[in-house]
Amino acid sequence: MTRDHSPGDHSPGDHRPGDHSPGALTHFDAAGKAAMVDVTAKPETERTATARARIVMQPATLALIQGGTAAKGDVLGVARLAGIMAAKRTADLIPLCHPLPLTQVTVDLTADQAANTVEIAATVRTAGRTGVEMEALTAASIAALTIYDMCKAVDRSMRIEALRVTHKAGGKSGEFSQE
């Protein structure tokens, strides 16, 4: 069933093409076609975002990673570099993302023996007109995929879980935080 909207009559989950009110989807033009958001008039502000993910594995796989004895080498070091490189290439991977001049990317990887996981936190910073949430999500996901790639020969049952933005600051929408 469709619903006709009169001006100003929509609930938070509704979307009308070209509607750029709070809560509306912004990557569509007035005709409903996918479009890159025009950020020309937005002021440049300092922006930061952190995304997290985890990869669950067998205890023996985690031991290989921590011991530095994985056949392909330093798993966490390679995953960290892959995440940083991925953040810088986000606009090449996600069609409507703006290419951004990133000022800092950090990817922290922490082994959790009790949970048999590697916890990943990627933080991205810029001074720009649009946020860096997608860059942080891309960094965290590619770091996790790199761990999978480097260890799949010994553990095909690994699972990548809980990819999410946990913090965002800067811009018109202000700060968001959830752990």
Rounded Cα–Cα distance for residues 88 and 107 (Å): 13
* Whether 55 contacts 160, CB under 8 Å: yes
- Within the chain, what is the greatest distance between any pair of CA atoms? 64
* Whether 90 contacts 176, CB under 8 Å: no
DSSP letters along 19-42, please? Answer: --STTS--SB-TTS-B-----TTS
Q: Which residue among 19, 108, 149, 155 is the active-site one? A: 149
Q: Which two tokens stand for residue 83?
A: 């995440």
Annotation marks residue 149 as catalytic: yes
Q: Which two tokens stand for residue 71?
A: 């056949």
Rounded Cα–Cα distance for residues 165 and 177 (Å): 8
Residue 4: helix, strand or coil by DSSP? coil
Half-sphere exposure of 81 (CA within 13 A, CB side): 4
Catalytic residue set: 149
